[in-house]
């Protein structure tokens, strides 16, 4: 895997978590609006579900998304750290005719001229 692949994966991770948390926040807002529409109904539903193991007052979907995001926020950085350590302690093999950065090595040296000498060319 290349550095560009890891960069794209990191950007995708950040974007997906941002979109996911935005969606999760929207779901929670909907539940708040539902509760505010009828406080007595909400209190009754809460009383019925208080002694049970349910997702109430959230929905099963909200609970599932929250569990998924907890997993992602915990383990993807750990996996990323492992890849970082692997990259840190391994050296890429330099091909003949390539510089250490992986780009083609120039066969002739580059000569830099002072700006006063440019007009004399």
65 belongs to a structural domain: yes
DSSP structure string for 68-102: HHHHHHHHHHHHHHHHHHHHHH--PPPPTTB-TTS
9 belongs to a structural domain: yes
101 belongs to a structural domain: no
103 belongs to a structural domain: no
Q: Is the pTM of this model over 0.85?
A: no
- Summarize pLDDT for 81-116 with one digit per residue, the tens: 887 788 778 776 666 665 555 555 555 666 666 666
Domain housing 32:
3-93
Structure tokens at 86: 């692997």
């Amino acid at each position: 895997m290349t550095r560009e692949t890891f960069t794209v994966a990191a950007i995708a991770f950040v974007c997906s978590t941002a979109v996911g948390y935005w969606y999760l926040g929207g779901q929670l807002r909907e539940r708040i609006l539902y509760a505010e529409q009828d406080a007595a109904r909400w209190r009754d539903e809460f009383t019925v579900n208080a002694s049970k193991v349910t997702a109430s007052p959230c929905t099963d979907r909200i609970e599932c998304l929250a569990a998924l995001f907890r997993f992602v926020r915990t383990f993807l950085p750990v996996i990323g750290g492992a890849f970082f350590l692997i990259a840190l302690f391994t050296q890429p093999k330099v091909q003949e005719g390539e510089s250490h950065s992986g780009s083609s090595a120039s066969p002739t040296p580059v000569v830099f001229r002072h700006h006063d000498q440019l007009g004399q060319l």
